[in-house]
Structure 1
């Protein structure tokens, strides 16, 4: 478990991943040792994409940040020198070592543009597409890194999308504190709500969150992501997605810090090699 690993045992990227994305860090511990550092790099890259809008004062600045990362990926893919950045450097190394797929990395950055749209995410269909492209894209890129191919990658994308959905739903209040709402506008409108009202009082979105979570849970429970044992780390976020969506569908909140039950569930699935 991540809190039992002494800091000195981790690389800088491993420590970065544990600090900024403890869920995926825990899952990454079940990857083969020779692929783990590249997976930490992917986690760090995903974090930088996720914070592009959070750290930007305006949507335009967020788009500029995303383009910076697209350029960094392209430069690595075309053999140009790495950029001086704590994540861009290792990312460049992983790309040039043919460990991380440049096209997948670019697609992950493209997906985040939805977060910079002034009008938000308009429909549930667009919301689902965003989850598949962002968190689902992460899972696909992680799967490729770990040797998954063919239909397994499609299952991993759906597993990643379920985790992305749960992450957005459980972060509604946190996003509102930043003046943001990523819930689909049509689902809010059906409940007589607007994004502005959710930002002002996130509790008003509880029924919408429960409905979206219930739908996502049914899909997540039906999903059977069966990657080869060496790629199980890419599927493990599905374990947390199911647990989170179950809570959210009941109108409950998900604690910001993982409890023992969540961590044990991931550990057991990782040891057994199935989700």
Structure 2
């Protein structure tokens, strides 16, 4: 694709799902969507790039300070994302409270485990759900549409978490809730060490049901112009349906995005406007 801005190129490289969805935003609002994707990527990599939880918290605090300084009108920090972020906050294109909520929600990733199913859902509503809310805000979504967008975003986050079980294991991590694992005699460390255990699959299937419930909670009609904020849920629905089918093994790497996934997003994007 020609003539992509640096932010758009970063969004396409780091988060192709949301990049495709952002293309269906109104042209004058797409750059803010690309910026939001880039910001979310920086938060997501805080734990991956850090050598320990404290270092991850320091990275998250850096972004918290960057948002708060921009909101206070202070000079932007020298960073390829922080600079445009400060400009967008000053211009009112992104809501700083949305961004700070996304930062806060990422702190759960610095803990040794997600303690409970309820904690997992809160984490998803704050991270992927928080992204969807920020996206909707930037597109002009009315307040009454934001809870639905948060649920749809959380559903996308759930599907992504389940798709990433093998990747989590390679990092010696598990984001599956400890209380559900405990019902199968497993700890988070056990799931991280060997996701092929039957208990891991059983917990994953329970969470597929939770993801489907989140999709149902978000099943409302959205006003025109904000539909792109809900488009990741199209991919979540396809992913969760695959996971609900017999024979799904969460310990195996997920299939790559195919033409069918992209066409589903494109069709939904053209219909929603």
Normalising by structure 2, what TM-score? 0.94
Deviation sequence 1:119-157 (CA, Å, 0-9, x none): x11000011011111111110010010010122011000
Partner of 2:174: 181
Out of 218, 232, 235, the residue aligned to residue 230 of structure 2 is 235
Partner of 1:135: 128
Alpha-carbon contact 1:209-1:249 (below 8 Å) kept? no
Unaligned runs of 5+ in 1: 1-5
The worse-fitting range, judged by mean Cα deviation, of 233-242 and 203-212 is 203-212
Out of 157, 160, 165, the residue aligned to residue 153 of structure 2 is 160
Partner of 2:104: 110
Query: Structure 1 residue 123 and structure 2 residue 116: aligned?
Result: yes
Which 4+ stretches in 1 moved above 6 angstroms? none
Alpha-carbon contact 1:221-1:242 (below 8 Å) kept? no
Quote the Cα distance in structure 2 between the aligned partners of 1:43 and 1:66.
Answer: 16
Partner of 1:93: 87
Aligned pairs (5 A) from 1:33-44: 33-44=27-38
Partner of 2:188: 195
**Alignment length, in residue pairs?**
267
Partner of 2:12: 18
Partner of 1:3: none
Aligned pairs (5 A) from 1:60-75: 60-75=54-69
Quote the Cα distance in structure 2 between the aligned partners of 1:227 and 1:217.
Answer: 19
Query: Structure 1 residue 46 and structure 2 residue 45: aligned?
Result: no
Alpha-carbon contact 1:214-1:246 (below 8 Å) kept? no
Alpha-carbon contact 2:148-2:217 (below 8 Å) kept? no
Partner of 1:260: 259
Partner of 2:270: 271
Unaligned runs of 5+ in 2: none
